[in-house]
């Protein structure tokens, strides 16, 4: 079965703290893709990153970084020096192409509240 687990329902931090959002996935496919999306209070879903199963290199984009570890089936997201504008719900998602389907399977999301 394909599944994404975000065990952290809510996280509250104070501005400038670092915070890591956990994502654990399950899939039997050898080729799969992982994504992170941000949903700010305004409600839209904003794409952050896409990673394929053959690329385990970590990635950094400004204050954002992602740690992909196939050994633990995890794709964690770290925000360094958090800001109030980072307050949002963050979704991890999995996509696979097996069975001629093409869908994003989302985790339940982590609500991040950054306090000033």
Partner 1 sequence: DAGVIQSPRHEVTEMGQEVTLRCKPISGHDYLFWYRQTMMRGLELLIYFNNNVPIDDSGMPEDRFSAKMPNASFSTLKIQPSEPRDSAVYFCASSLLALGNTEAFFGQGTRLTVV
Q: Spell out the residues 6+ positions from residue 82 whose beta carbon is closer than 8 angstroms to its own.
A: 13, 15, 16, 17, 18, 19, 63, 112, 114
Distance (Å, whole) CA 15 – CA 82: 5
Q: 73 pairs with which residues across the strands? A: none
Q: Per-residue x/- marks for partner 1, 55-94, CB under 8 A?
A: ------------------------------------x---
Q: Per-residue x/- marks for partner 1, 28-57, CB under 8 A?
A: ---xxx-x-x----xxxxxx--x-x-----
Given 12, 20, 83, 108, the residue binding partner 1 (CB under 8 A): 108
List interacting residues with partner 1 (CB under 8 A).
31-33, 35, 37, 42-47, 50, 52, 91, 95-97, 100-109
């Amino acid at each position: 079965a394909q599944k994404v687990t975000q065990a952290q329902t809510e996280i509250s931090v104070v501005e400038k703290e670092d915070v890591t959002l956990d994502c654990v996935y399950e899939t039997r496919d050898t080729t799969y893709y992982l994504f992170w999306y941000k949903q700010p209070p305004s409600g839209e879903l904003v794409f952050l990153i896409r990673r394929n199963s053959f690329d385990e290199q970590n990635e950094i984009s400004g204050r954002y970084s992602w740690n992909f570890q196939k050994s633990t089936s995890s794709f964690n997201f770290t925000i360094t020096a958090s800001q109030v504008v980072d307050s949002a719900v963050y979704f991890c998602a999995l996509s696979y192409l097996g069975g001629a389907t093409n869908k994003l399977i989302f985790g339940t999301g982590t609500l991040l509240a950054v306090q000033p």
